[in-house]
Amino acid sequence: MTRCVLGQNQYGKAENRVVKITRDGDTHHIKDLNVSVALSGDMEEVHRSGSNANVLPTDTTKNTVYAFAKRFGIDSAEDFGIRLARHFVDDTAPIHRARIRIEEYAWDRIDTPDGTPATGHSFVRRGQEIRRAQITYDGHSVQVLSGLKDLTVLNSTGSEFWGFLRDEYTTLEEDRDRILATTVSTWWRHTWDGTGAPAPDWDRSYRRVRTHALRAFAETYSYSLQQTLFAMGVRVLESCDGIDEIRFSMPNQHHFRSDLSPFGLTNDAADGAVYHAADRPYGLIEATVLRDGADQLIPADLTNL
Amino acid sequence: MTRCVLGQNQYGKAENRVVKITRDGDTHHIKDLNVSVALSGDMEEVHRSGSNANVLPTDTTKNTVYAFAKRFGIDSAEDFGIRLARHFVDDTAPIHRARIRIEEYAWDRIDTPDGTPATGHSFVRRGQEIRRAQITYDGHSVQVLSGLKDLTVLNSTGSEFWGFLRDEYTTLEEDRDRILATTVSTWWRHTWDGTGAPAPDWDRSYRRVRTHALRAFAETYSYSLQQTLFAMGVRVLESCDGIDEIRFSMPNQHHFRSDLSPFGLTNDAADGAVYHAADRPYGLIEATVLRDGADQLIPADLTNL
Amino acid sequence: MTRCVLGQNQYGKAENRVVKITRDGDTHHIKDLNVSVALSGDMEEVHRSGSNANVLPTDTTKNTVYAFAKRFGIDSAEDFGIRLARHFVDDTAPIHRARIRIEEYAWDRIDTPDGTPATGHSFVRRGQEIRRAQITYDGHSVQVLSGLKDLTVLNSTGSEFWGFLRDEYTTLEEDRDRILATTVSTWWRHTWDGTGAPAPDWDRSYRRVRTHALRAFAETYSYSLQQTLFAMGVRVLESCDGIDEIRFSMPNQHHFRSDLSPFGLTNDAADGAVYHAADRPYGLIEATVLRDGADQLIPADLTNL
Amino acid sequence: MTRCVLGQNQYGKAENRVVKITRDGDTHHIKDLNVSVALSGDMEEVHRSGSNANVLPTDTTKNTVYAFAKRFGIDSAEDFGIRLARHFVDDTAPIHRARIRIEEYAWDRIDTPDGTPATGHSFVRRGQEIRRAQITYDGHSVQVLSGLKDLTVLNSTGSEFWGFLRDEYTTLEEDRDRILATTVSTWWRHTWDGTGAPAPDWDRSYRRVRTHALRAFAETYSYSLQQTLFAMGVRVLESCDGIDEIRFSMPNQHHFRSDLSPFGLTNDAADGAVYHAADRPYGLIEATVLRDGADQLIPADLTNL
C-alpha cells in the first residue's frame, strides 16, 4: 500500500482588504492594503483526520488583521506585516512560521488648480505601481522582502539589439534604435532580520529603491534588456544600504515599427515612428542581482509570470 | 416561411494599439492609443450572400490607423478620430457611417530627484484614469464624445446616508459619517458638430472637465452618491462651454467599518477607523446631466457595467 | 447662469452573487446567479438636494434578492428577474421602472468513470458560456431579453475571405481556406410581454437558441463572418417561436497561418497547418437580425465591446 | 565599491499562442497551446556588457515553437515541451537549461441534438479547467510536472468545520453543514526522467489524475479543506503509478448562508439554503503530498496566489 507523507503546507486568509484612516484635525491620512496570511506548524493532524484542534481559523487571521490595524495603526506595510507575523507565531503554540504578503495602493490628494489640496479628506488613487512586502517569521528571525509590480516604463530610444546568436530558426533583423518598454516586477531583500539593530525606515528605503531603479532604467544605454535589468539591480545595491539581493521579472513589451512602405511612407525611428504595441508573445527576462557574498534567498518562482 | 430583416450592424477592426513617438531634438513625445473602428453602410449583401464587394477589410481599417498616425501625427484622440471617421465615410462609397472609439494611456517623464527629466526619452506610465473619445460621422456632421474611466476617488468623511425609504427588506442602519468611494466612468458630449466653427482645444477641454469633476467630488458635502454625481455634472456644464451633456456611471465602492467590539475596540469614524473595502455587490449609480434644452444623446448603455 | 436638467438615471445594487441549493433527498440542485438591480422613478430630489426620501437603499435591493431566492426559489433567471422587477415597481411607490440583469453560471455533476454521479451533492463548474437575462418592467409590461456570452467556437475550415473592396491602404491577401473563430456574445428578445399568455419555458427556449446558433455556425460555409452571423440569427428566428429579434457581437479572433518558409517548411491549410492565435487587434462584427415587421429594441451598445 | 554578482537568471519568449490543426480526411483535430520558453546558461556577459553573442533571440525561440509544431506535430503538451527543451539545450552551446511551460485549452466538437458531430471541423471551447505542463531539462535528465488550474468544484453538503483553536480574535461559529467550494490549482511530478524507460502516456495519465482528484473531492466527508486536499493527494498517488509528488493550492471560496431572519425566513442548510458567494477575502490552503521517500521538488511558490 502506498504510504503518503505531508510536505510543505500553509494556510490562512488571503486578500484582506483593509483601509485605515487617520485623522489629524481636518487632515486625513489613508493606508490601503491587501493583506494575505499564510501559517505553518503542527498541521499533520488536520490533513489526516480533519481535526482542527491546532487550526486557528482563517477567519480569526482576518479578524486579527483588522483589529491590529485599529490597535496599532499602520506605519508601513513592512511594520504591519512584522507585527502580524510575530503575533501569529509567538502567541499561537501550534504555529511555527508565518508569512504575510501585503500589497499597498497609493493615493494622492485631490488638488485645486494652484496645487493646494481641495480638502483634507479627498483622495484620488495614484494608479501607478503597486507596492508590496513579504514578511516571514519562524520564531527566531524575520525576513523582509519589499517590492513593487505594475510599474510600466518605456525608453523611446537609447536601445539596440544586434550581434545575437543565430541558428536555423533565426529570422530576426538587427535593430539599432528601438523602443524598450517593460512592466517592472521586483522583490528585494533587506539584511535586517529583526534582531539587534532597529528596523530600517521602510518608506524611505522604498522611495530610494524606486528612484534608483527608475533612473538606471532611463540612463542605461541598452544593448539588451538583460543589461538594463542588471544595471538596475547594481544601481539599487550600490545606492541602498541594507539590501543584499534584488530580483526582477521584466517582460519585453514589444513595440514593432509598422511597415508603412506599401503606402509610400517611410517610418524610421529617427524621424519619430509609429509602432504597434503587441500583447503576446513577449520576451520575459528574469534575474537576481546579489551583493557579493550574499545568499540567494528570493525564490525564482516568486517573480514568475 | 420566416422572413428576416437585417437591423443595425457595424464592423471594423477593434483595439488597434498604436504608439506614436515625436522627436523634438533629444526631447521625445509619446501618444499611446487603443483605436477601434466600426463602419456601417450598404452591407445587406455581405450578410445575405457573403459577397464582400462592399466590405473594406478590417485589416485595411487597421492599416489606415497606422498610416494616418504617421502621415498626420496625433494631436489628440479627438482630432485623430475625426480624421479617421471622415476618411472612411467620405472616401469609401458603401460606407455611410463611421464610429471611432479611442482609449488613451498617459505617460509622465521619469524624473531625477530634483524634478528634472532623467532623459528626454524616458517615460513611466501614469496609471491613473484612461482618457477616451468616441467620434461618429454620418457624412454630414460629427458627434464627439469625450470621456474617462478608471479614475478612483475617495472622501474619508463629508458623506452621510440616512432618511431613506424603508420597506420590509430594509435593515440598513443610517450613517452620519461614512467613506464615499467610487471609480468614475463618464462620457460628455461636445456641441461642436464639425461644421462652422473651428474645433475646440480638446486637451484643454479634457483638463477642465477632469479638474472640475474632481473638485466637485471633493467639495460636495454628500447625502447620497446621486447628489455628488449630479453636482459633478452641474459643475462641468457650468464651467465648460461647449459641452451640453454628461453621463456618469459610478459604483458605490463600499467601505464597511469593521465591527471590532468583540475585541474590546471602538472603531468610530471620528477617531480614524478601520474599514473593509468590499468587492461585490456594490451600489451602481448612473445618470445623465443636461444643459437645459439640450437633447439627450449619450446612450444609457454606454456607461453601463 | 446655467440651468441643468436631470436626464436618464438609475441606481441599484449590482452583482449580487446568490447561490440557491435545493435538496431532493440526497440529490441536490444548484442555481448560481449574479444579479444586478437598476431602478428608476421619482429621483429628482435625491440628485438635487440629497434627500433620500424616495430612495430604497441599494442594500435593501440586495436583501430582496436573497430573500426572494429563499421565499420563491429560482426556477430560471428569467422567472426570478421578472418577480424581482415586478416587486420593485409594484410595491414601491416612487419606483416606476426596474431593470434586472442576471448572469448564470452552469454546474455539472462530478461523475464516476462509468458516468453515474459520484454523489448527489458534488458539482464541477461547466465553464463554457455564461447565460444571461435582462428583464425590464415599467408597471405595465415586461420586456425579456435572454442571452449568452463567452461561448468560443471555431471552424478549422469551411471559411473563405476574398473579393473584398480595396483602397490604397489594402494589403490583405485573399484566403480560400481559413480558420473562423469567435466568441459569441448575444441577446435575443422574447415577444412575450408579461400580459396575456403564460410565460415561455425559459430553459427550453435557451437550449433551443443555443443549439440552433451553434449548428448554424458549424454548418454555414462562410465567405465572411457577417454571413455566418446573419445565418445564425435567421436560424434562431426560424426555429424558435416567440423570439422576434436577436443581436450578436462577434469578434473575429484571427488565427494567422505561420510563415514557416524560412525554415524550409510548407504550412498549407490543406495539410493541417500551424496558426498563431492573435490577441489584438481583432475584427468586430455586430448586427441585429429581426423577424419581418418586428421593432428593433435591443440597444446597439448592449453587445458592444 | 559594491561588487555585484549575477544570480539565477533566465529568459525566453513567453505566451506563444500556437494552434495546430491535423486533418484526417474531413475529420479535423485541434491542439491549442500557450507555450512559454525560459533559457539559462552562459549569460554573464549579456547582463554586464550587453553583448548578445550567447543570446539566442527570444524571437528565435518563438519561431522554433511554431516550426516544431509543424515539423513534429503536437501529441501532448508534455511531448512537445520535452522536444523543445532538449532542442534548446542540446543544440545551442551557451544554453544549459531550458524550462518550457505550457497551458492547453480543450475543445469539444459541436454536436447535433442526437449527439453526432455537426461537422468534422467545428469546435466549441470546453471552458473548464486549463491543463498545463512544465518541462525542465539540464542536459542530463528531464523533470516533467503536469497540472491543471481553474477547475471549480463544490460540495453542497458533507462538509463541517468545528473544534478549531480559539484565541481572543476568534468569533467564528462552528458549522455542521456548510458548502465546500474551491478552484483547484495543482501540479504533480512524474518519476520518469527522460532516461531509460519510455515516456508515460501523458493524456491517459492526465485523465487518471483528474478523475481521481475529482472523485476524492466528491467522496471525502470533510471536516476541513486541508483534509479534503490531503485525501485528493493520497488518492492520486495511490491510483497513479509514476507520480511521486503533488501540490495543491486551493482557495476556500466561502459561501455564507444569508441571514434572512429579519424577514421572518429560516434559511437552514437542511432545507436547501440561500448563500452569498463571497469574493475576498478567502481562505487559501496549500500543501504538498509525497510518496514516502520521495524528494519534495515542486516549488512552494509555483502554486501560490
**Greater pLDDT, B304 or B189:** B189
As a whole number, mean pLDDT of residues A184-213 equals 96
CA D197, D203, D204, D206 dihedral sign is positive
Q: Report the Cα D153 to chain-centroid distance in Å.
A: 15
Dump pLDDT digits (tens) for C172-218: 999 999 999 999 999 999 999 999 899 999 999 999 999 999 999 99
Nearest to A303, CA basis, from D36, D250, D136, D9: D9
Residues of A in contact with D8 (CB under 8 A): 247, 286-288, 296, 300
Question: Which is more confidently placed, D114 or B254?
Answer: B254
- Tell me how close the Cα of A279 comes to any Cα of chain C, in angstroms: 7
D145 found inside a domain: no
Residue A2 included in any domain: no
pLDDT at A108 > cutoff 70: yes
Of D12, D67, D163, the CB nearest to A51: D163
- With contacts defined as CB-CB under 8 Å, which chain D residues touch A42? none
B250 falls within a domain: yes
**Do residues B124 and B157 share a domain?**
no
Q: How far apart are CA A14 and CA D182, in angstroms?
A: 14
Say yes or no: B252 contacts chain C, CB-CB below 8 A.
Answer: yes
D80, D112, D140: which is the final residue of a domain?
D140
Here the cell at position C168 is 490604397
Which residue among B5, B161, B286 places its CB closest to the CB of C290? B5
Alpha-carbon distance B204 to D89, whole Å?
56
Q: How confident is residue C305, by pLDDT bands cut at 50, 70 and 90?
A: very low
Kindly state whether residues D240 and D216 are assigned to the same domain.
yes
Structure confidence by residue, pLDDT tens digits, D11-36: 999 999 999 999 999 999 999 999 99
Residue with cell 481572543: D168
Grid coordinates given for D229:
486536499
Assign B302 a pLDDT band (cuts: 50, 70, 90): low
Nearest to A156 among B17, B28, B260 (CB): B28
Distance of CA A294 to the CA centre of its chain: 20
Q: B: neighbours with 3+ CB pairs under 8 Å?
A: A, C, D
Determine the pLDDT at residue D144. Answer: 98
Task: Collect all residues of chain D within an 8 Å Cβ-Cβ radius of residue C239.
Answer: none
Closest Cβ opposite residue D164 in set A15, A57, A282: A57
- Which grid coordinates are listed for B179? 467613506
Q: How many B×D Cβ pairs under 8 Å?
A: 9
In this prediction the pTM is: 0.96
Neighbours of chain A (3+ CB pairs under 8 A): B, C, D
Decide if C166 touches A, using CB distance below 8 A.
Answer: no
Answer whether residue A305 shows pLDDT above 90: no
pLDDT for res C175? 97
Alpha-carbon distance C21 to D270, whole Å? 10
- Indicate the pLDDT class of residue B128, thresholds 50, 70 and 90: confident
- For residues D212 and D86, membership in a common domain is answered with no
pLDDT category, B249, cuts 50, 70, 90?
A: very high
C71 touches chain A (CB under 8 A): no
- How far lies A274's CA from each of B18, B62, B198, C208, D92, in Å? 7, 13, 27, 48, 35
pLDDT of residue A304: 47
* B149 catalytic per annotation: no
User: Residue D104 is which amino acid?
Assistant: E
pLDDT band at residue D127, thresholds of 50, 70 and 90? Answer: confident
Cross-chain residue pair D7–A289, CB shorter than 8 Å: yes
Percentage of the residues of chain B whose pLDDT score is greater than 90: 95
**CA D165 → CA A94, A95, C179, distances in Å?**
9, 11, 58
Distance CA D81, CA D103 (A): 11
Residue at a domain's end among D107, D140, D173? D140
- The Cα–Cα gap between D147 and A238 comes to 41
Look up residue B33 and give its three cell numbers: 492609443
- Which of A1, A8, A42, A292 should be substituted to probe chain D, the one whose Cβ sees the most D Cβ atoms within 10 Å? A8
Listed by number, the residues of chain A in 19-58 with a beta carbon closer than 8 Å to a beta carbon of chain D are 36, 38, 43, 46-58
Percent of chain C whose predicted confidence (pLDDT) is above 90: 95
In this structure, of A114-118, C60-64, D139-143, the range with the lowest mean pLDDT score is A114-118
Looking only at the bridges linking them, the beta strands covering D142-155 and C122-125 are: antiparallel
pLDDT for A128 equals: 87
Active site annotation includes A119: no
pLDDT at D178 exceeding the cut of 90: yes
Contacts of A237 in chain D (CB under 8 A): 2, 4
- Same domain for A175 and A294, yes or no, is yes
What is the reported pLDDT for D305?
38
**pLDDT confidence of residue B127:** 84
Cell (9 digits) for B75: 494631436
Of the three residues B79, B108, B140, the one that is the final residue of a domain is: B140
Q: Which residue has the cell 494599439?
A: B17
**Which grid coordinates belong to B233?**
455634472
In a domain, B1, yes or no: no
Mean pLDDT of A1-15: 92
Catalytic residue among B31, B62, B212, B254: B254
Interface of B with A in 93-122 (CB under 8 A): 107, 110, 112-113, 118-119, 121-122
The size of the A-D interface in CB pairs under 8 A is 298
Which chains have at least 3 CB atom pairs separated by less than 8 Å from chain C? A, B, D
Give CA–CA dist B176/C55, Å, rounded. 17
What number is the average pLDDT over the span B146-157? 97
- Give the confidence band of A250 by pLDDT, cuts at 50, 70, 90: very high
Task: Compute the Cα dihedral for A235, A237, A242, A243 and give only its sign.
Answer: positive
DSSP C53-107: TT---HHHHHHHHHHHHHHH--S-HHHHHHHHHHHHHHH-TTEEEEEEEEEE--E
How many Cβ atoms sit within 10 Å of the Cβ of residue B268? 9
Q: What is the mean pLDDT of residues B122-139?
A: 95
Residue B264 has a pLDDT of 97
What percent of chain C is predicted at pLDDT more than 70?
98
Res. B304: pLDDT tops 70: no
Task: Give chains near D: 3+ CB pairs under 8 A.
Answer: A, B, C
Asked if B172 and B133 sit in the same domain, the reply is no
Inform me whether the pLDDT recorded for C267 exceeds 60.
yes
The pLDDT score that the predictor gives to residue B305 is 38
The b/e string for A129-147 (b: 16+ C-beta within 10 A; e otherwise) is bbbbbbbbbeeeebbbbbb
Is A1 a domain residue?
A: no
Tell me phi and psi for residue D199, to 5 degrees.
-70, 155
Query: What pLDDT was estimated at residue C273?
Result: 96
Which residue range(s) make up the domain with B104?
10-140
- Tell whether D86 is covered by a domain: yes
Give me the mean pLDDT over the C22-47 stretch.
97
Please check whether residue A109 lies inside any domain of the structure.
yes
Indicate the Cα dihedral angle A193, A194, A197, A198, nearest 10°.
Answer: 130
D126 and D188 share a domain? Answer: no
Is B85 in the same domain as B178? no
pLDDT at A55: 97
Other C-beta atoms within 10 Å of B293: how many? Answer: 8
Count of alpha carbons within 13 Å of A34, Cβ hemisphere only? 15
Active-site entry in A31, A190, A212, A254: A254
Residue A296 pLDDT > 60:
yes
Residues D154 and D132 in one domain: no
Give the largest CA-CA distance in chain C.
77
- Is the pLDDT reported for residue A196 higher than 90? no
Judged by CB atoms closer than 8 Å, whether chains meet at A153 and B271 is answered as: no
- In this complex, do B121 and A279 lie within 8 Å of one another by their Cβ atoms? no
Does the pLDDT value for residue B1 go beyond 70?
no
Asked, for residue C253, whether it belongs to a domain, the answer is yes
Is C279 within 8 Å of chain A by CB? yes
Nearest alpha carbon to residue D171 among A68, B255, A64: A64
Nearest CB to A6 within list D57, D230, D285 = D230
Testing the interface with A: which of D91, D143, D191, D284 to mutate, by most A Cβ within 10 A? D284
- B137 pLDDT above the threshold of 70: yes
pLDDT given at position C115: 87
Looking at the structure, do residues C300 and C275 belong to the same domain, yes or no? yes
Phi and psi at residue B182, to the nearest 5°: -155, 165
Contact B168 D280 (CB under 8 A): no
- Mean of pLDDT values over B218-247: 97
Residues C13 and C157 in one domain: no
Q: What is the mean pLDDT of chain D?
A: 96
Encode pLDDT of D235-247 as tens digits: 999 999 999 999 9
Same domain, C114 and C88: yes
Give how far Cα A242 sits from Cα of A66, A100, A245, A247, Å: 30, 21, 10, 15
The answer to whether the Cβ–Cβ distance between D48 and A9 falls below 8 Å is no
Q: How many CA atoms lie within 13 A of D272 on its CB side?
A: 18
In this structure, the dihedral spanned by the alpha carbons of residues D163, D169, D173 and D175, taken in order and rounded to 10 degrees, is -50
Residue B122 with chain A: CB contacts under 8 Å: 153-155, 217-219
Residues of C in contact with B167 (CB under 8 A): 56, 60, 91-92
A46-102: pLDDT as tens digits: 999 999 999 999 999 999 999 999 999 999 999 999 999 999 999 999 999 999 999
Whether residues D134 and D160 share a domain: the answer is: no
ipTM of the complex: 0.94
Percentage of chain D lying above the pLDDT 70 cut: 98
Q: Say how far apart CA D226 and CA A9 lie, in whole Å.
A: 9
Instruction: Count up the domains in chain B and report the number.
Output: 2
User: Shortest CB distance from B263 goes to which of D168, D279, D280?
Assistant: D168
Nearest CA to CA, how far is C282 from chain B (Å)?
5
We report the CATH number of the domain holding residue C288 as 3.10.270.10
Catalytic entry in B13, B31, B62, B190: B13
* A164 in reach of chain D (CB within 8 A): yes
Backbone angles phi, psi at A111, to 5 degrees: -105, 155
Q: Average pLDDT of A181-203?
A: 96
pLDDT of residue B190: 98
Q: So what's the pLDDT on residue C96? A: 98
